[in-house]
Amino acid sequence: MTETDTGAGTAAAAVRLRSVRRLYRDVVALDGVDLTVRAGSFVAIMGPSGSGKSTLLQCAAGLDRPTSGSVEVGGTELTGLSERRRTLLRRDLIGFVFQSFNLIPSLSAAQNVALPGRLAGRRPSRAQVRAALRRVGLAERAGHRPGELSGGQQQRVALARALVSRPAVLFGDEPTGALDTTTSRHVLCLLRELVDGEGQTTVLVTHDPVAASYADRVVFLVDGRVESELLRPRAEEVAGRMATLERHTGAVGAGAGAVGR
Ligand SMILES: Nc1ncnc2c1ncn2[C@@H]1O[C@H](COP(=O)(O)OP(=O)(O)O)[C@@H](O)[C@H]1O
Ligand SMILES: [Mg+2]
């Protein structure tokens, strides 16, 4: 598929990976990934376990450094930047949510949202914190601690924390992985609304075909390479493709670019 087919060639790129390789000793986690994420789009990354999804996300988000190749976020080339410059850029450009919510239990929702900014010496204003909580539908819960919130509400606080700095790109590594089906759907609807309503570029790693079906585009990784893509994915199609990939990698054996193991 060409870039024009995905619309990536015409509109601004929020994320651009070129020939990205990431080795861990003799393990090839990423083996030459080219990927462009159009600004304002929602992309899901899928693939068998060990196919390099988390490594891809960490490299795209500037949390990890590729062994070779280049990564551009919001028009800025991350490759070759010092650790310090990369940290500063990450703070401005990137929001990240994980499977575990990583909230501080003793702090209120509002304090959790404000914490990364405070630690970085850029405390968000009360109005900004309130706006972030409003965006995730938790305006009424600003004073509540994580223990007083459901799992879905806690993940929405984590989402507000990731969004308060108005990042160019929101990354999520299995953010609905710890949630029950109904709660997971609520969080996915919210992500979709943020994309549609506010143009929030979003890149989501998931193993759930239904979660992937909320995206505009699904990119399938196998052994650290982009194997294929689906546009406007339907859950059944995604599930079918995943089943094929898992059969394939199962048949091959170790898969996952594991060299010499
Ligand atoms: N810190 C690390 N040290 C060594 N190997 C790693 C490390 N992180 C990931 N890997 C390896 O890289 C490959 C891809 O891992 P990962 O990106 O976590 O895959 P996924 O998220 O798709 O399950 C796997 O073979 C994994 O074992
Ligand atoms: Mg992973």
Strand extents, DSSP E, the chain: 13-24, 27-38, 42-46, 68-73, 76-77, 94-97, 169-173, 201-205, 217-222, 225-231
Write down the pLDDT at residue 70: 97
Angle between helix axes 151-163 and 126-135 (nearest 10 degrees) is 130
Total tally of structural domains belonging to the chain:
1
Q: Give the tokens for residue 59.
A: 């490299």
Q: Quick check: CB of 28 below 6 Å from ligand 1?
A: no
**Confidence (pTM):** 0.90
**Model pLDDT, residue 258:** 42
Determine the structural domain holding residue 31 and report its residue range.
3-91+168-252
- What distance in angstroms lies between residue 46's CA and the mean position of ligand 2's atoms? 10
Tell me the two tokens of residue 17: 């990976």
Closest by CA to 239, choosing from 215, 209, 260, 196, is: 209
Residue 86 belongs to some domain of the structure: yes
| CATH number for the domain harbouring residue 13 | 3.40.50.300
CB 47 within 8 A of CB 246: no
Residue 179 forms part of a structural domain? yes
Q: Show the 3-state SS of 193-239.
A: HHHHHHCCEEEEECCCHHHHCCCCEEEEEECCEEEEEEECCCHHHHH
pLDDT tens-place values along the chain, 261 residues long: 444 444 444 468 999 999 999 999 999 999 999 999 999 999 999 999 999 999 999 999 999 999 999 999 999 999 889 989 998 889 889 999 999 999 999 999 999 999 989 888 889 999 999 999 999 999 999 999 999 999 999 999 999 999 999 999 999 999 999 999 999 999 999 999 999 999 999 999 999 999 999 999 999 999 999 999 999 999 999 999 999 998 877 644 444 444 433
Tokens of 38: 């159009």
* Domain annotation covers residue 129: no
Decide if 152 is inside a domain. no
Distance separating alpha carbons of residues 158 and 119, to the nearest angstrom: 16
Ligand 1 pocket member 112 (CB < 6 A): no
Please check whether residue 158 lies inside any domain of the structure: no
- The residue to mutate among 21, 24, 33, having the most atoms of ligand 1 within 8 angstroms of its beta carbon, is 24
Q: Does the residue 207 lie in any domain?
A: yes
Q: Can you give the pLDDT at residue 250? A: 65
**pLDDT score of 261:** 35
Does a structural domain hold residue 186? yes
Residue 98 confidence (pLDDT): 92
